[in-house]
Amino acid sequence: MGINKAFEKEFLVMGVLASYGSDFAPVRQRLVSEFGPVKEETASQDFLWTDYYNKEMGQRIVRFYLLFENLVDPETLADIKLSTNAIEADFAQNGNRCFNLDPGLLAPGRFVLATTKDRAHRIALHDGIFAELTLIYEKGSFRALPWTYPDWASEPVRGMLAKWRKGLFAER
């Protein structure tokens, strides 16, 4: 018989898409007030992986990533996504998002994203939020899965997460 035990806490990572020229500072401040200090923030780069967001967010979108200092209980992933959805709505203009916030959890063996989109490979959490196993860590690197979004599957992002993983879990 298995014995229940508390989950190990994990690191919160946030993928951010932002309409070019949008002021991220108040959004960042809100994220910090809800999730704690940011440990690392990447430089922004043009988001060229898909035009899926262009109609809503404009023709030029940038992507960057945040790593938060505070560990979080993985049980809270759906609540985190609900909070980021509310932040997106609060900063929308004329009904269109200026920011898309993609929270995920970095654990020693995996990276999991939260999403509102149901697919066969996603697990229902609560309140319309699903968890997606996005990357698996094995043999010294993160490996993408057939459904992993191309930006998260890219070598630079997988390398960034592996670097963060190495530094973070060495500190435990």
pLDDT at 99: 97
* Segment 100-128, tens digit of pLDDT: 999 999 999 999 999 999 999 999 999 99
Q: How far apart are CA 29 and CA 36, in angstroms?
A: 10
Q: Which residues pair with 46 in a beta bridge?
A: 62
- Assess whether pLDDT exceeds 70 at residue 172: no
Least Cα distance to 18 among 126, 91, 86, 85 occurs for 91
Parallel, antiparallel or unpaired: strands 61-72 and 129-138 = unpaired
3-state class of 56 per DSSP? helix
* Segment 117-170, tens digit of pLDDT: 999 999 999 999 999 999 999 999 999 999 999 999 999 999 999 999 998 877
Least Cα distance to 114 among 91, 155, 68, 83 occurs for 83
Least Cα distance to 29 among 87, 114, 100, 86 occurs for 87
Least Cα distance to 138 among 170, 111, 156 occurs for 111
Q: Per the confidence metrics, is the pTM higher than 0.85?
A: yes
